[in-house]
């Protein structure tokens, strides 16, 4: 009851603040975005976009992907166990299968694999949020400009580039206590330096973030086993030899290291911890370490011809994942019953990664012309590897000599595309836009495998030719108020499966390939800045999702297959206001109704079933107030209230992964501090009420036993941040 009264009072005060009459208003700054591969004002983009500035990220203390969802309507994060094990989706497009629904970019460079075959597409870039200009989130399919795996939208990290005009150094550090026990800490530093006046500048930054653990292993008597670290940095050089030519070179590195996942073993019947000792407890046969090494080298050049700007971008990415998963609960009873093998534990080591080269060239007309156009071409080639084993151990920790499964899954993936986009300003108030993209995806894959549970499969190839399109119109009904309508398509590539051959017929025991799935999005919206201190946008959308990719069981193997169709309908709202000097308010709201349109036997789903992990309702309120306290110093206080509605973990009819209903939850973050031109000091409490909200539940049935590994929102964390500018 006390918590409910507290949240009610906070909601009441926030709503009242929006309605207060004021004598002085602070003007909103115009937001510029690169969403459509040209720099333009956000209010003029005929699409649903959220922009989080670097200053906003620092104000609210955002450190990783988990902190972003509260500020982006329609964005859902599936957290499988903490930093490095998260995936993102927009507008409800998910079935808990592998493969990327959203595209992820660092500036103009795509991240990760375009194919689901090796598992690399299942990892999101959980970037340390250091020295960023802004984050842009584009909702709905972006297949025309961004190609494969952008069928749900795009998340784009826009880094701060070198500045030719000023020298600056910034450093900051933060410390926190997680759940009254382990320590959070982070250190970040950045430097910008002009080298040659107006011609050459460099920018470098480095960061280390340590995430304190809060899960205890009661079987092995170990505390805080789920701590994690991010190490990263970027180096950039900007060359401007002439007024018309700019060249930027960048090197980017990040390592993620985890001791274990932040998963808790849960009793789905009593809705309580399975193990004694409290909510955050587990029992593991061994540690499950995880490392993710990401490297990116890129170069871009822009040349202004006057009538158009030529942009060329090239990149080289490598990433490597090494992890060990505890498979004891899954395989112990299964192998004892099927093969008579009785071992104490089973571990699954995974080694996977890729090397990827990309190149894009485009020619873009100036923004503001009556007829704006963009044409370009794109090419990428990636070489993927995935090596995994199933190993058994005796109670004494001695490895079993039995080769249960040893699998190598090398593959190659290439995407080549040409695209064009155009906008015609019919009048000063009305314009129409359209775009097309033609792409070809080629894959080559091999399954080299041995062991009791799996066999080899010969090399094979696949080819897909896909076209996508978008059309939109925008009309200015009042000054600084636009309405728009948009239709767009996107797709996700198909590919191969890892399967075995029937010993008698030599035929695959499961489909060796699966096809692409596609989305068609229809939306209407309004974007408005009715006053100098208020802005908002409201969007309604309908998405048809065809031949959805999903996990399927075939003769004892889990593979990817194509199912029927699904749909998602929803409303998104976001607003920002500065009703008086020093006061900044924000609000987001999302209603998402994502359901199956057809029966999905592989999911045990029927028409009308909700898609998993997606809340029907989600909203947030943010408020920050700053005022002068003494010479050169300002005080500030603020908070973020975030609500996530009830979600399903899966489908009720499933025999292997039955549904578990995750309750709604509300979190509250608060902050207060002092700032000057040079220094910033902030105290904060994240999850002030210590809410035990579930962000994910992996429920499985093996050997007649139902198991659940759940992940909670991070418990209460109390800390402080310090920053200095030189």
Residue % of the chain over a pLDDT of 90: 58
- Average pLDDT for residues 325-348, to the nearest whole number? 82
Q: Is pLDDT at 509 greater than 80 in this prediction?
A: no
User: What does the alpha-carbon distance between residue 263 and residue 327 come to, in Å, rounded to a whole number?
Assistant: 14
CB burial class (10 A; 0-12, 13-18, 19+) of residue 505? exposed
Q: How far apart are CA 565 and CA 141, in angstroms?
A: 16
Q: Which of 371-380, 509-518, 622-631 has the lowest mean pLDDT?
A: 509-518
pLDDT score of 686 more than 70: yes
C-alpha to C-alpha distances, 278 to 204, 216, 326, 462, nearest whole angstrom: 44, 9, 22, 50
pTM: 0.90
Tokens of 168: 């600056």
Instruction: Sort 29 into a burial class: Cβ within 10 Å, 0-12 / 13-18 / 19+.
Output: exposed
Q: What is the structure's pLDDT at 506?
A: 62
Going by the DSSP 8-state scheme, the letter that residue 282 receives in this structure is: E
DSSP string for residues in 179-226 = TTTEEEEEEEEEEEEEEETTTEEEEEEEEEEEE----EETTTTBSSTT
Whole-angstrom distance, CA of residue 508 vs CA of residue 413 = 22
User: Residue 531 burial by CB count (10 A; 0-12/13-18/19+): exposed, middle or buried?
Assistant: middle
Q: Which residues make beta-bridge pairs with 573?
A: 538, 589
Closest Cα partner for 716 from 684, 690, 683? Answer: 690
Each residue of 546-596: pLDDT tens digit? 999 887 777 666 778 888 899 999 999 999 999 999 999 999 999 999 999
* 465-492 per-position pLDDT tens digit: 999 999 999 999 988 999 999 999 999 8
Give the gyration radius of the chain's Cα atoms.
26
Strand partners, 30: none
List C-alpha distances in Å: 76 to 65, 277, 642: 10, 31, 13
Q: What is the pLDDT of residues 138-187, one digit of tens each?
A: 999 998 999 887 889 999 999 999 999 999 999 999 999 999 889 999 99
Confidence class for position 458, pLDDT limits 50, 70, 90: low
Q: How much is the pLDDT for 311?
A: 97
Q: In the chain, how many domains are there?
A: 1
Range of the domain at 316: 2-725
Report whether pLDDT(661) > 90. yes
Burial of 608: CB neighbours in 10 Å, binned 0-12, 13-18, 19+: exposed
Three-state secondary structure of 549-590 = EEEEEECCEEEEEECCCEEEEEEEEEEEECCCCCEEEEEEEE
Interatomic CA distance for residues 261 and 289, integer angstroms: 8
Band of pLDDT at residue 18, cut at 50, 70 and 90? very low
- What does residue 618 show for φ and ψ, rounded to 5 degrees? -155, 140
Residue 10 has pLDDT above 60, yes or no: no
What band does 502 get if pLDDT is binned at 50, 70 and 90?
Answer: low
Instruction: Tell me the Ramachandran region of residue 13: left when phi exceeds 0, alpha when psi lies from -120 to 50, beta otherwise.
Output: alpha
Say whether pLDDT at 435 is over 70.
yes
Residue 4 in this model has a pLDDT that exceeds 70: no
pLDDT of 224 higher than 50: yes
Mean pLDDT of 460-467: 85
From CA 150, how far away is CA 173, in angstroms rounded?
35
Distance CA 575, CA 586 (A): 6
Q: Which of 690, 589, 694 is nearest to 647 (CA)?
A: 694
Residue 36 pLDDT exceeds 90: no
Burial 36-68 (b: 16+ CB within 10 A, else e): bbbebebbbbbbbbbbbebebbbbbbbbbbbbb
Tell me the HSE value of 639 on the side-chain side, using a 13 A CA sphere.
Answer: 15
In the prediction, which pLDDT does 125 show? 84
Q: What is the mean pLDDT of residues 238-254?
A: 96
pLDDT in tens, 531-546: 989 999 999 999 999 9
First to last CA, the chain: 48
| 404-431: average pLDDT | 92
Given the DSSP bridges, would you call strands 102-106 and 153-159 parallel, antiparallel or unpaired? parallel
Q: Above 70 in pLDDT, residue 213?
A: yes
CB atoms inside a 10 Å sphere around CB 458: 9
* SS3 readout for 75-142: EEEEECCCCCCEEEEECCCCCCCCCCCEEEEECCEECCCCCCCCCHHHCCCCCCCCCEEEEEEEECCC
23 pLDDT band, cuts 50/70/90, is very low
The answer for 48, left when phi > 0, alpha when psi is -120 to 50, beta otherwise, is beta
DSSP state of 658: B
Across 199-215, average pLDDT: 96
CATH number at residue 716: 2.40.170.20
Q: Is the pLDDT assigned to residue 95 strictly greater than 90?
A: no
pLDDT mean across residues, the chain: 88
Instruction: Report the C-alpha gap between 725 and 676 in whole angstroms.
Output: 10
Using 50, 70 and 90 to split pLDDT, how confident is the model at 73? very high
Q: Are 585 and 577 in contact (CB under 8 A)?
A: yes
291-335 pLDDT, tens per residue?
A: 999 999 999 999 999 999 999 999 999 999 998 888 887 788 778
Is 410 a residue whose pLDDT tops 80?
yes
pLDDT band at 417 (very low <50, low <70, confident <90, very high): very high
């Amino acid at each position: 009851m006390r918590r409910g009264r507290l949240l009610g009072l906070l909601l009441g005060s926030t709503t009242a603040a929006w309605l207060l009459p004021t004598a002085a208003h602070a003007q909103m700054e115009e937001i510029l975005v690169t969403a459509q591969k040209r720099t333009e004002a956000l209010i003029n983009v005929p699409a649903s976009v959220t922009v989080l500035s670097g200053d906003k990220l620092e104000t609210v203390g955002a450190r990783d992907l988990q902190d972003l969802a509260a500020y982006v309507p329609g964005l859902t994060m599936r957290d499988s166990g903490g930093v490095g094990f998260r995936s993102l989706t927009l507008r409800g497009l998910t079935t808990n299968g592998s493969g990327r629904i959203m595209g992820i970019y660092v500036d103009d460079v795509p991240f990760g694999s375009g194919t689901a075959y090796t598992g690399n597409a299942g990892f999101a870039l959980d970037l340390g949020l250091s020295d960023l200009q802004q984050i842009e989130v584009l909702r709905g399919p972006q297949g025309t400009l961004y190609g494969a795996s952008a069928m749900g939208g795009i998340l784009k990290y826009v880094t701060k580039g070198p500045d030719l005009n000023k020298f600056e150094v910034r450093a900051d550090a933060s410390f926190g206590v997680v759940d009254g026990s382990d320590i959070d800490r982070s250190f970040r530093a950045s430097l910008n330096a002009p080298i040659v006046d107006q011609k050459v500048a460099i920018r470098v930054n480095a960061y280390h973030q340590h995430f304190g653990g809060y899960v205890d292993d009661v079987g092995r008597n170990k505390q805080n086993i789920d701590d994690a670290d991010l190490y990263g940095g970027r180096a950039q050089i900007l060359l401007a030899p002439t007024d018309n030519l700019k060249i930027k070179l960048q090197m980017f590195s990040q390592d993620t290291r985890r001791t274990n996942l932040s998963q808790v073993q849960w009793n789905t019947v009593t809705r309580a911890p399975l193990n004694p000792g409290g909510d955050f407890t587990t029992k593991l046969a061994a540690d499950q370490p995880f490392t993710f090494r990401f490297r990116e080298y890129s170069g871009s050049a822009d040349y202004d011809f006057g009538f158009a700007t030529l942009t060329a971008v090239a990149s080289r990415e490598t990433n490597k994942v090494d992890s060990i998963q505890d498979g004891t609960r899954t395989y112990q009873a299964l192998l004892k019953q099927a093969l008579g093998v009785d071992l104490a534990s089973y571990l699954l080591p995974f080694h996977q990664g890729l090397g990827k080269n990309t190149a894009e060239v485009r020619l873009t007309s100036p923004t503001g012309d009556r007829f704006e156009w963009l044409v370009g071409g794109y090419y990428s080639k990636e070489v993927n590897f995935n090596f995994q084993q199933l190993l058994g151990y005796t109670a004494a920790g001695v490895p079993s000599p039995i080769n249960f499964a040893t699998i190598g899954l090398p593959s190659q993936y290439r995407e080549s595309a040409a695209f064009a986009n155009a906008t015609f300003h019919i009048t000063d108030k009305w314009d129409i836009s359209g775009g097309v993209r033609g792409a070809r995806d080629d894959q080559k894959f091999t399954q080299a495998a041995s062991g009791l549970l799996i066999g080899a499969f010969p090399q094979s190839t696949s080819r897909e030719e896909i076209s996508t399109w978008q059309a939109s119109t925008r009309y200015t009904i009042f000054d600084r108020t636009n309405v728009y309508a948009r239709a767009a398509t996107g797709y996700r590539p198909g590919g191969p499966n890892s399967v075995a051959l029937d010993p008698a017929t030599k035929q695959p025991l499961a489909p060796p390939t699966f096809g692409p799935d596609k989305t068609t999005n229809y939306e209407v919206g309004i974007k408005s800045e009715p006053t100098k201190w208020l802005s908002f946008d409201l969007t309604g959308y309908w998405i048809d999702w065809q031949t959805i990719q999903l996990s399927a069981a075939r003769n004892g193997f889990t593979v990817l297959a194509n199912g029927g169709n699904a749909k998602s309908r929803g409303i998104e709202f976001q607003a920002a206001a500065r009703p008086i000097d020093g006061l900044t308010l924000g609000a987001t709201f999302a209603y998402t109704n994502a359901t199956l349109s057809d029966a999905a036997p592989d999911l045990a789903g029927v028409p009308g079933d909700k898609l998993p992990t997606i809340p029907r309702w989600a909203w947030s309120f943010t408020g920050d107030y700053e005022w002068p306290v003494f010479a050169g110093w300002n005080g500030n206080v603020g908070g973020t209230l975030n609500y996530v509605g009830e979600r399903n973990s899966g489908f009720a009819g499933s025999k292997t992964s039955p549904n578990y209903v995750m309750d709604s939850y509300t979190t509250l973050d608060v902050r207060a501090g002092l700032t000057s031109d040079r220094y910033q000091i902030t105290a904060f409490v994240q999850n002030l009420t210590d809410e035990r909200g579930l962000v994910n539940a992996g429920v499985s049935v093996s050997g007649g036993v139902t198991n659940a590994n759940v992940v909670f929102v991070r418990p209460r964390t109390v800390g402080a941040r310090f920053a200095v500018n030189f």
